[in-house]
Amino acid sequence: MSIEHLNIDHVSMVFDTPAGPFKALDNVALAIEKGEYVSLIGHSGCGKSTVLNVVAGLLQATTGGVVLDGTEVDEPGPDRAVVFQHHSLMPWLTAYENVELAVRQVFKGTKSRAEMKDWIEHNLHLVHMEHAMDKLPGEISGGMKQRVGIARALAMQPKVLLMDEPFGALDALTRAHMQDSLMEIHAELGNTVIMITHDVDEAVLLSDRIVMMTNGPAATIGEILEIGLDRPRDRVVLADSQEYNHYRAAVLKFLYERQRRPDVDNGDGTSASEPETAEEETDAPLKIVSGMQAA
């Protein structure tokens, strides 16, 4: 048995579809160290969410599997908290109560009422939401809701924090703030993180390693880029850093030269509800630029 913290062990995934079996993932193999911050990047529909959902235990790999600290993962558990792109807060509960719901589930019987209260407030404080903890989701902005979602995930004290495009729905300025908060939290807590992103700058800024996936079907890991930038990282300083720009260029090269999307969009898995247009494709570099300017 390996001594890795988190081992994505040769995961393949075949989905049954009305048109027959569809192989989404082929032999995805990745060992992750405790405390590592790993980003998954790749074109839409390549299989990033599928990888994350297998690690979360929400999906079962067709072959291969996931081992966390020596135990095979085959169902969701509080040791792997998930943050999705769109918050999943209970609309009738306040920010505090949303976090409380998760804390009660995980710490019932081990933390007293007073300890739970301190812990909930501590986690809301980590994401800079203590001032709005009595507000309902409908009364706060999208960025604030994502903060509460992250607080809720952190409050479960997961071994691994899984985030599927957590800032994808936020404007560039809010996203920059969220990235900075996340870097602070990661420095303080040292959680293992797997984050899916479309944003090259976000990946370089936050990650220890960027895992670049090939296009599907039968997507797999194409390249892995180690990001050797010292921490703490400052987006403004890095914008002029040659090293930073070298990493950024390496990811762009992978995505737009080596894994360039075919012009005709068929069989690549883009869902009908999320049409991927040529326009969106050329949009991506613009998004990257504005992400940096948002400092």
Ligand X SMILES: Nc1ncnc2c1ncn2[C@@H]1O[C@H](COP(=O)(O)OP(=O)(O)O)[C@@H](O)[C@H]1O
Tell me which of ligand X, Mg ion, none is bound by residue 143, counting a contact when its beta carbon lies within the kind-specific cut-off of 5 to 8 angstroms. none
Question: CB of residue 28 vs ligand X: minimum separation in angstroms?
Answer: 11
Task: Determine how β-strand 80-83 pairs with β-strand 37-41.
Answer: unpaired
Q: Is 242 in the site for ligand X (CB under 6 A)?
A: no
217-230: string of b/e by CB count within 10 Å (b at 16+)? bbbbbbeebebebe
- Taking residue 135's Cβ as centre, other Cβ atoms within 10 Å add up to 16
Q: Is 214 in the site for Mg ion (CB under 5 A)?
A: no
Angle CA(138)–CA(142)–CA(146) in degrees, nearest 5?
105
Task: Determine how β-strand 192-196 pairs with β-strand 160-164.
Answer: parallel
Of the pair 17, 110, the CB lying nearest ligand X is at 17
Of the pair 165, 208, the CB lying nearest Mg ion is at 165
Q: Is 45 in the site for ligand X (CB under 6 A)?
A: yes
Of the pair 42, 143, the CB lying nearest Mg ion is at 42
Q: Crossing angle, helix 142-155 and helix 172-189, to 10 degrees? A: 20
Question: CB of residue 52 vs Mg ion: minimum separation in angstroms?
Answer: 8
Instruction: State the binding string over 15-34 for ligand X (x if CB under 6 A, else -).
Output: x-x----x-x----------
Measured CA to CA, the distance from residue 168 to residue 189 in angstroms comes to 23
Which residue is closest to ligand X by CB? 269
Alpha-carbon distances, residue 154 vs 39, 79, 81, 254 (angstroms) = 18, 10, 8, 32
Angle CA(230)–CA(235)–CA(240) in degrees, nearest 5?
85
| DSSP code string of 193-231 | EEEE-S-HHHHHHH-SEEEEEPPSSSB-EEEEEE----S
Q: Is 2 in the site for ligand X (CB under 6 A)?
A: no
Of the pair 35, 267, the CB lying nearest ligand X is at 267
Question: CB of residue 171 vs ligand X: minimum separation in angstroms?
Answer: 22
Q: Is 70 exposed, middle or buried (0-12, 13-18, 19+ CB in 10 A)?
A: exposed
Q: Is 166 in the site for ligand X (CB under 6 A)?
A: no
Please, which of residues 49-108 interact with ligand X by CB under 6 A? 49-50
Among 41, 47, 140, 160, binds ligand X (CB under 6 A): 47
Question: CB of residue 85 vs Mg ion: minimum separation in angstroms?
Answer: 8
Please, which of residues 26-55 interact with Mg ion by CB under 5 A? 49
Question: CB of residue 49 vs Mg ion: minimum separation in angstroms?
Answer: 3
Question: CB of residue 269 vs Mg ion: minimum separation in angstroms?
Answer: 10
Which residues contact Mg ion (rule: CB under 5 A)? 49
